Amino acid sequence: MEDVRTLLNLVYILSAVTFILGFKLMGRPTTARQGNILSAVGMAAAVVATLMFPEVVRYTYIAAGLAIGAVIGALFAFRTPMTGMPQMVGLLNGFGGAASLLVAWAEFVAHPEQPIYQGIIIWLTVLIGTVTLSGSLVAWAKLEERFIPTKPVLYPGQRTVSILLLAAILGGGIWFALDMNAPTAAQVLGAVTALAFVLGILLVIPIGGADMPVVISLLNSYSGMAACASGFIIQNNLLIVAGALVGASGIILTLIMCKAMNRSVANVVLGGFGADLPGKAQAVVGEIKPVKPDEAYLILEAANSVVIVPGYGLAVSQAQHAVRELMEAMEKNGTEVRFAIHPVAGRMPGHMNVLLAEANISYDALVEMDAINPTMDTVDVCMIIGANDVVNPAALEDKNSPLWGMPIIEAHRARTVIVMKRSMGKGFAGVENPLFFRNNTRMLFGDAKASLQALINEFKGSGN
């Protein structure tokens, strides 16, 4: 028996090594796929090893869970379009929190007579897991634009209510941990669960849509911390390691994204874009200058350098393959083409990188914001496809703008700017963009995919 446990623990150690190596490989676009596969292999080995532990005596429910979960997961994966990927990631974070919540409750029901420290761990797992679940549901609703508006939802005394809720949860946790075997212990833990569910809603509902990429990353970290806590409950070392890795990486990514937005995590959590306007924003002045595809073609055909800024609108129209074809046509014409990637473009971390990789666009053509901005004055044409907030010059010029201080891709400095949009609608942050009214800006209205195809046809018609 001990030999079996030793062997299984060795598998756990090797799985933990694959997780760490997988995370390292996922730090670079060129090796991210290998890192994902390596981590998946390690997790599969860990699951098999766990099922071989002597304590596992009934496999019926486990097999049923695996089968049902696999079917649901496959349906989600195949039916979710690229535009729905952020919502799906948000839901998966919530499912992770729910799993940890159920583990905590199952352990309490099965073994109510436990020491205080174990009660504290169960309470902590319930708290983090429930907040992750309800917060993720709100994030999903905001991203899906159902039930809850994308803009911040505020009410008087909001922070006071959240603090009181947290105090009540803390008090309930102490009461629960001191005597888990008390007749009222289940009711106390149930009340903590309900209050934590409300707290998760109240923590995410005041955050604006433009902050959703950061929120998704933060909730991912929460799900990892919940898994880590549940690992302590069932004394599973690999679950502790895996949860800690996910929690730490999520926090690191959140901090990186906040730095890219020139904001603190507290600023994001306590008030999203549009939550607190310091004053009246500057009035937008200028005149819209529409351009037709044949006119835009003449501008692009004469350009030596073109920078393309992708945004959520590119994902909505599923135009990633069309933009690659246009890129190839411009390069054949002798134009240098690069893609400027903002850290929070789209609605989840790395959204644009994944979208362009799907179209087999070389990673070498993708340039980060800090690298592209110093060269923007030399760019002949900056083509913006479905992006809005990440190119809004108000972030640099208007101290009263909700976007003030957020680093942007400085597209307005290019010699000519071509903005591809369906309409003059505002971005996800709900802020007017003065870039559209600049003298060097031309607006190409219409579906991004159709507009790109029209430009491609112009290049083909000219023989380029």
**Which listed residue (211, 389, 398, 447) is catalytic?**
389
- Under DSSP, the state recorded for 366 is E
Half-sphere exposure of 248 (CA within 13 A, CB side): 10
Is residue 294 flagged as an active site residue? Answer: no
Half-sphere exposure of 20 (CA within 13 A, CB side): 9
Query: Rg of the chain over CA atoms, in angstroms?
Result: 25
Joined tokens for residue 48: 């098999």
- How far is residue 56's CA from residue 46's CA, in Å, rounded to a whole number? 14
User: Residue 108 in contact with residue 122, Cβ under 8 Å?
Assistant: yes
User: Residue 401 in contact with residue 431, Cβ under 8 Å?
Assistant: yes
- The one-letter code for the residue type at 438 is R
- 279-318: buried (b, 16+ CB within 10 Å) or exposed (e) per residue? eebeeeeeeeeebebeebbebbbebebbbbbbbbbbbbbb
- 208-231: buried (b, 16+ CB within 10 Å) or exposed (e) per residue? bbbbbbbbbbbbbbbbbbbbbbbb
List, by residue number, the catalytic residues.
389
